[in-house]
Amino acid sequence: MTFESSVNRLLKEAERVKRSNETFRNPEYLEECYKIALEQLGIDTIDMDDPAFLTIYEQSQINEDKKYVQALEKDFDQSNSDLAKKNKKIGTILEALLYNQIEQNLILGMNVHTISTCKYDDYHNKVDTVMELLPEESDEYKHLALAYDATLTSNTDALTKKINTIKRDITNGRLANVKYFKSENSDKLSLENIPKLIIGIDMINLESVIRLWRATMNNEKGSNEKLINHPFRLIIIDQIILQLEYFVEYANSVNQKDVAREYERILDFFKDLNDQEEMKSFRENILSDSKKRSWYENDNVLNFFKELARGK
């Protein structure tokens, strides 16, 4: 064995050991990723103590909402298992990843901005992020908002439950509400009846993306290019479009025409994004690479939404 081959073998072994530790099964790694996630989400999270909210709510009402959050968190800490607490941290990591990549790497294009909701809206209204779809001057779109719940599960029962909750709201003519909202792109301090969907990714793909994300944070050469070209971007875009199409059809089927129109406006925005040449090129790049295509085709969350769409 030559010196060079010995060095290469040692480097490969070092990389294997490193990867074996870069898993959420490793408590230290999980805590490190969770810390990064909290830092990222803190950049643009809505603050219930912002004085602007006193123009529409009494201080006593805000205090009651803060007590509601504190009570829920206390109950969660006391009544949930270590596994549930671990999964909650991983869910926060997914939420932060989506926020960071939509903002920094523009995975949904230049006209999409995300805002993390306060804990009250996360817990009470089941909305952890608001996605703003911002028009260009030449666009016919007005300012659009989309609520989403970042979901980490490959459990079809859990996903079905979340979808059925949205369908029940659509049947009753209700969409998502955000009690506390603030954005430089809008004068609104709350949002009512905005479309909602779920954005998720399975654990295997999430761990793969998080490794690249951490490498990018550490300024490792070439890591951000790999992250931008990871299949998770296509997984996210396709599940958004699949859900929007599904909810438009469902809303029309239960004669909720106004709700259908709200979802359809968001759908038109993402269809336009999907038709852009850059996105077509990206899709071709993913599907022509056997490894990337395998990641895309085997993501359990995306496949759930594909099955949902087929069963419309």
Residue 264 has pLDDT above 50, yes or no: yes
**Pair 77, 92: CB distance under 8 Å:** no
Close Cβ partners of 196 (under 8 Å, ≥ 6 residues apart)? 127, 146, 147, 148, 149, 166, 169, 175, 176
In the prediction, which pLDDT does 56 show?
97
DSSP character for 136?
Answer: P
Average pLDDT, the chain: 88
- Residue ranges per domain, the chain? 81-310
Q: Any bridge partners for residue 196, and if so which?
A: 147
Close Cβ partners of 302 (under 8 Å, ≥ 6 residues apart)? 235, 238, 239, 296
Q: What is the mean pLDDT of residues 255-284?
A: 95
- The pLDDT tens digits of the residues spanning 46-104 come to 999 999 999 999 999 999 999 999 999 998 888 888 888 888 899 899 999 999 999 98
Report the percentage of the chain scoring pLDDT > 90: 68
